[in-house]
Amino acid sequence: MIWLGCSGWAYSDWNDVFYPRGMSGSLSYYGRFFNSVEVNVTFYRQVAEDTIIHWIKTAGKLARFRFSIKAPGNITHDLLLRDIRSAVEEMEKFSDSTLRPLSQAHLSGALLVQLPPFFKESHAANLNTLLSSVGIHDFKGVLEFRSESLANSPAIRKIYDETGYTPANTDSPAARLKSYADYGHGISYFRFHGRNAESWFSSSEDPSARYRYKYSLEELRQLSSFVKKSMDLGDEVFVYFNNHPSGNAPRNAMDFAGIMGMESGGHQMQLF
């Protein structure tokens, strides 16, 4: 099974590009084209209970849908590095308030734990404690590192083996997707950030500028080869486009669906 979508669905610059005139940030409309979404707002702030209930009610009207959730940044980029006890406590609260209701509604995808650029191998013990201590219901655990060498270190490999988490396969100017990582956990996770090197490596007042990129069909075909490899292994596959500015993410995701031989435009996406 492949779950395909974008990193978020409520962007104002998708209006009149992906969303029809007069419609803005509609999850129900988004769900006509994609069967999954990666929720990044949870990285920045706690999502209200009423909002999660709304997600569940909306997704419940779709044929099949999954939410992947990004772990809170105050945990992954702060508490994890200096106060593991508090990190565990906060992750338990997050799991109970956000992951549990989605899981009970059979809408669980993956939990993305993104580590900061300043994460070091010396922090690996804390990470292992966090992941081993907190249950994430039936979400699949995924780790994203900014450093390929760190992601492949013995200490991190041990975490993959002991916790069942799997690495995120990412494509960005900092790390083009050139190889496929699989740890035999039955899941593969792909994040496509775009290849805007000029903005990626420079400071900008617009934080979204680094993601302003539209993949060509040839680039999408190259990326699809890695996804197909994971599918050949029988993995459950998650693919998300994070090049959201100007509506490039949904357009590229629909192009990708065509390359993969998937059906879009209905309430479900299935392999032919």
pLDDT in tens, 14-45: 999 999 988 888 999 999 999 999 999 999 99
Predicted pLDDT of residue 215: 97
| Count of other CB atoms within 10 angstroms of residue 51 | 12
Q: Which residue has the tokens 């486009």?
A: 241
Q: Which residue has the tokens 């990285």?
A: 43
Dihedral of alpha carbons 14, 16, 18, 24, sign: positive
Q: State the Cα–Cα distance between residues 238 and 168, nearest whole angstrom.
A: 10
Domains and CATH numbers, the chain: 2-259 (3.20.20.410)
Q: Where are any strands of DSSP class E within the chain?
A: 2-6, 36-39, 66-70, 108-114, 140-144, 166-171, 187-192, 236-241
Whole-structure pTM value: 0.93
pLDDT at 147 over 90: no
pLDDT at 8 over 70: yes
Q: What angle do CA 115, 118, 120 make, to 5 degrees?
A: 80
Average pLDDT of the segment spanning 132-142: 97
The pLDDT mean for the chain works out to 91
Predicted pLDDT of residue 262: 86
- Which range, of 92-106, 111-125, 144-158, 218-232, averages the lowest pLDDT? 144-158
Q: State the Cα–Cα distance between residues 248 and 13, nearest whole angstrom.
A: 10
